[in-house]
Chains A and B, each alone.
Chain A
């Protein structure tokens, strides 16, 4: 028998959702400040309107649902999944008001793409977009990369034991420090420190490349936020091709890799435990999969003679591959070149890299390295069981901060999430094919959306069917939250309708 949620459940959910909305509204003050400094009148108004609407709804919800009770697991998961949808709708208000998005659905698409750190975009005439709106596009990537709920945990929620449930719901199941709020704050500390260093590096290179200082540092901030949070938005329509700079590409590769590393690993590196990089199952798996997928891509590019020199093949192939593997989506080629010039084998290499992703508890999406490593270890264990005498005791271990014995529940969990991702990639590809796109194009774009990558082969554009836009929005949302909180939301809605 399914139990109908009580009013108390709904009030609890509403209260925390309201708090998160207030937090989101307050972040809109940042673009307002930028707008003031650049003297952009109408963009400031767009954000004032967005700020006011968000705060009105947030205040009403917290006042109607005021409670001091803690969240249950179910409530925490529902809050997280709903808060991402609410953030998409509210975050799209200033975007839509700018007039650079053709419909509210398009603005919602970019808003979800930003929060989910995907990078697929439907913006029109990006090269004439205001600094204010451009900052917001990148800021939502920074917020989404850390986790929308993490903001609330860090600044607006104090001493709530239910905070861990929301933290887990946002696809972060690892506590770096014993207290989850301190963990959230550590994530912010890491991000802000790298932000300062990254902006300095990119801004300086920008100035040396001949950009105006204001633009160089503004672009530096935007590109850092999108690269570290493995997002993929850029302030100009040409993406990374705008800069025509090898140093810029090298720095962004470093930032993308930093973003793809587990925050727990960052913590241990910061604490002086640098050997962990060499031993950790995630870094070892990442290195291996990067090598394998790059080999596939490079052979594919070589077969078709896409690039005349080895150095160029490496520069183009490796950049798109790292960008795809880390889930960033920065491109140094035009979207159409993927399909028109790259071979199918090279595309398969990129699709595999996108599907795998980076580390757990990082800003990347997709299946993730820990799960791939665990599945590989389980396969190895099973093979050993077959090969060795029946009486032999087979134990498999892996190193993830400490030595961990492989258990069936870890394998089961890894396989369920991996299977869910594969189904999501496949369903998105079927949806693309339903609208007449070729299989490889549809699979490429679907994997990019569901794995929160943002590389595009040109399928994502303003003229694509609305249903496909909605499909990709769903894929970005489900992929970012890693399914569990979404399954819980579906269960909650079923209970509301069918429960007794």
Chain B
């Protein structure tokens, strides 16, 4: 009898997970601008949001904050720390961060986090890996700097000669 109940419960849970994955897999990502401008509309709804992880991964106990930038704005994602093991690169001047797709509950004014606009992640998928950005010396800037250095030295020497 107990076995029957447990198996029925697990099949219901499986069905819900399947339904959730089916709906979210087909869901189109929503842009940050759309979410911010229509925050009341999306409040407490499951949304899909994608972008680049930028800045820092800020661990807070079993959870962590990551900030995901979609090219227009960045939105804070509250996520279970176990889900972000795959994230190795965060965006900065020298790094292109991992691109991720977040499925989670959007909050216009999150009661748990002091009224911040955020997303509580239910699932995360890394869509592409980040990489270090190779900084090449800009030769035009280098040449301009050398020419200006020459002019500066000339002006400085002339000013010294004038004072004598």
Contacts and interface: CB of A to CB of B under 8 A. Distances in A.
Given A42-B138, A210-B59, A307-B109, A55 B115 contact: no
Given A49-B144, A241-B116, A340-B37, A128 B59 contact: no
Interface string B62-75: 00110101000111
Interface of A: 40-43, 45-46, 48-49, 52-53, 55-56, 59-60, 62-63, 97, 127-131, 209-212, 215, 236-238, 241-244, 246, 249, 306-309, 311-313, 315-316, 332-334, 336-337, 340-341
B135 A244 contact: no
B69 A49 contact: no
A408 to B, nearest CB: 48
B65 A236 contact: no
B164 to A, nearest CB: 13
B3 to A, nearest CB: 43
Given A129-B93, A237-B74, 7 more contacts: A45-B141, A49-B145, A63-B158, A127-B54, A127-B92, A236-B54, A340-B39
Interface stretch (B17-25, B98-106, B121-129, B147-155): B147-155
Q: For B58, B65, B138, B155, which residue has the most chain A Cβ atoms within 10 angstroms?
A: B58
Given A41-B137, A97-B141, A236-B67, A244 B159 contact: no
A52 B39 CA distance: 48
A214 B79 CA distance: 23
B57 interface: yes
A127 B69 CA distance: 8
B116 A332 contact: yes
B159 A316 contact: no
B120 interface: no
Contact of A312 (B115, B118, B141): B115
Interface of B: 36-40, 54-60, 64-65, 67, 69, 73-76, 78, 91-94, 108-109, 111, 113-118, 135, 137-138, 141-142, 144-145, 148-149, 151-152, 155-156, 158-159, 162
B56 A59 contact: no
Contacts of B69: 127, 237
A335 B65 CA distance: 21
Contacts of B65: 210, 244
B157 to A, nearest CB: 10
A312 B109 contact: yes
Contacts of B135: 40-42
A28 to B, nearest CB: 12
A108 to B, nearest CB: 20
Given A53-B148, A128-B93, A211-B56, A59 B116 contact: no
Contacts of B152: 52, 55-56, 59
Nearest to B59: A210
Given A128-B91, A237-B74, A209 B58 contact: yes
B39 A244 contact: no
Nearest to A129: B93
Contacts of B148: 48-49, 52-53, 56
A59 B91 contact: no
B128 to A, nearest CB: 16
B37 A242 contact: no
Contacts of B39: 337, 340-341
B93 A59 contact: no
B91 A127 contact: yes
A43 B137 CA distance: 10
B156 A59 contact: yes
A209 B78 CA distance: 13
B141 A46 contact: yes
Contact of A238 (B38, B74, B111): B74
A334 B36 contact: yes
A312 B158 CA distance: 64
B64 to A, nearest CB: 7
A355 B72 CA distance: 30
Contact of B109 (A97, A210, A308): A308
B111 A308 contact: yes
B162 A63 contact: yes
Given A242-B74, A334-B36, A210 B138 contact: no
A306 B109 contact: yes
Contacts of B138: 42, 45
Contact of B55 (A45, A236, A341): A236
Given A41-B135, A215-B56, A309 B141 contact: no
B145 A45 contact: yes
Given A128-B91, A238-B67, A45 B114 contact: no
A477 B157 CA distance: 35
A130 B152 CA distance: 26
B55 A242 contact: yes
A337 B74 contact: no
B85 to A, nearest CB: 15
A337 B37 CA distance: 7
A312 B74 contact: no
A48 B138 CA distance: 13
A48 B152 CA distance: 11
Contacts of A128: 54, 91-93
A244 B113 contact: yes
B66 to A, nearest CB: 10
A84 to B, nearest CB: 24
Contacts of B36: 334, 336-337
A92 B37 CA distance: 32
Contacts of B93: 40, 43, 128-131
A212 B162 CA distance: 52
A212 B155 contact: no
Nearest to A313: B115
A185 to B, nearest CB: 28
